[in-house]
Amino acid sequence: MDAMNCPRCRKVFVKRLDPLCPPCMKEEEDIYEKVREYVKDNPDKMIKDVAAACDVTVKRILSYLREGRLSTSAAMHGELLCGQCNKPILTGRMCEKCIMDTNFTVQGMKNDAAIKNRGQIHTRR
Ligand SMILES: [Zn+2]
Ligand SMILES: [Zn+2]
């Protein structure tokens, strides 16, 4: 089995799906729970207040929000911005419009590839 160093505590542990060793995963989970509970109980707190109260970085809270693990409270509205157009969003990485646009782009690229592939089959014959 592969062993690796935990990027958080530097201990060696057997590699598995989690990016951290089991004790660190547990700690990370506890921190997340703490933040989640705090936000639920204190909807009037801005991101930086939550960070200070839970002793975590603002970056960490933003990443929870972007991963969709945490929802923005009323006070946080406008603090999380769309990665594409910088419009305030409630959760995730992008606003609905940009998600739609991205989906269209991906779909368009797939269609292009399909047309090219068909062309190749045709020319090979
Ligand atoms: Zn660790
Ligand atoms: Zn957007």
Write out the DSSP string of 11-69. Answer: -EEE--SSSS-HHHHHHHHHHHHHHHHHHHH-TT--HHHHHHHHT--HHHHHHHHHHTS
Better pLDDT: 54 or 119: 54
Percent of the chain past pLDDT 70, that is, above it, reads 90
Confidence at 124, pLDDT banded by 50, 70, 90: low
Q: How far apart are CA 4 and CA 22, in angstroms?
A: 12
Distance 125 CA to ligand 1 centre (A): 57
Q: Is the pTM of this model over 0.75?
A: no
71-112 confidence digits (pLDDT tens): 888 888 889 999 999 999 988 899 999 999 988 877 777 777
Distance 5 CA to ligand 1 centre (A): 8
Which ligand is closest in space to the CA of residue 99? Answer: 2
Distance 4 CA to ligand 1 centre (A): 10
Phi/psi of residue 13, nearest 5 degrees: -145, 160
pLDDT of residue 91: 85
Q: Are 39 and 73 in contact (CB under 8 A)?
A: yes
109: Cβ contacts below 8 Å, ≥ 6 apart: none
Distance 71 CA to ligand 2 centre (A): 17
Distance 115 CA to ligand 2 centre (A): 30
Distance 78 CA to ligand 2 centre (A): 13
Which ligand is closest in space to the CA of residue 21? Answer: 1
